[in-house]
Amino acid sequence: MAKLLRKPALRAGLPDWLLTFADLMTLLLTFFVLLLSFSEMDVQKYRSMAESMGQAFGRSPVESYELVPIAQPEPTGSARDASVMPQPDMPVTSPQPVPDPEVEVVEVEVPSAALAEQAAFEQHEKLAIALIGATQDFLASDLFEVQYDAREVTMRFSEKATFSAGSATLQPGMRELLDQIKTVLSQCDGRVQVIGHSDDRPILQGQFRSNWDLSSARAVSVVHELILDGTLEATRVEAVGRAETQPLVPNDSADNRSRNRRVEIHILDAICEELEGL
């Protein structure tokens, strides 16, 4: 007689594995919620929670760790003995930054040449002010001018203020002006160079053979007036003739030629400790 095989009856409801899966998903969701709450971490709560989670999953308790503070640089000098807590009578100040030993401190030095140039400029400025103060009555006549820079002080005299046309004899008023100038120069150190200049027209007759003779003779006349009474040392002063080789303006008109006929006094590398009237 044949056996009748029956299929096993199906159990009503969800499969058994789905219950375990749901529990696992719930635990994972809880775990991630806890992680989100750790954005502001409390160490003690984290340690307790971690131990509970470890026991729930059958793991050994989480090892405890000791928080080690970050090492601070050791104070040097008197700061080592000072109290780190502010005293009651002392104002609380912000801590000073500690220099990083790994960072190299580079000192920027001003070039010595620039310092020397600035010092020379200041000395020449002082001398120029003294010269202007001593000769202000003559400056008003526009017969000469004073200029200065870091290299020298220059006094430029027109031909009208110094000599007659074709002559190397000083005008009477020029002697009084040079007396004022050498009084100031005697209070300073530095070389004094007197340079005579002319225009480009050749000399056809007279006591001078060329513009070189004329410009040199005019420079010598000024030097004589500066040194003959001993106010200035002769070793400091020199006379130079330049003829027409260094014109101020082109020699293309009567006015320009008149400007080029001049005498200049250059004071180089002046050092003035104290000047009367300043």
Q: Domain-by-domain residue ranges, the chain?
A: 19-56, 112-271
Please tell me which residue, 247 or 105, carries the higher pLDDT value.
247
pLDDT at 91 over 90: no
End-to-end alpha carbon distance in the chain: 147
User: Is a pLDDT exceeding 60 seen at residue 66?
Assistant: no
pLDDT band at 138 (very low <50, low <70, confident <90, very high): confident
Is the pLDDT at 65 greater than 50, yes or no? Answer: no
What is this structure's pTM? Answer: 0.59
Q: In terms of Cα–Cα distance, which of 240, 237, 238, 241 is closest to 209? A: 241
* Residues above pLDDT 90, as percent of the chain: 44
Q: Which of 164, 159, 147, 174 is nearest to 267 (CA)?
A: 147
Task: Take residue 136 and report the two structure tokens written for it.
Answer: 């202000």
Assign domain 112-271 one CATH number from 3.30.300.20, 3.40.50.970, 3.30.1330.60, 3.40.50.10260: 3.30.1330.60
Better-predicted residue by pLDDT, 267 or 95? 267
User: What pLDDT is recorded for position 46?
Assistant: 64
Strand order, beta sheet including 152-158: 144-148, 152-158, 262-271, 189-197, 237-241
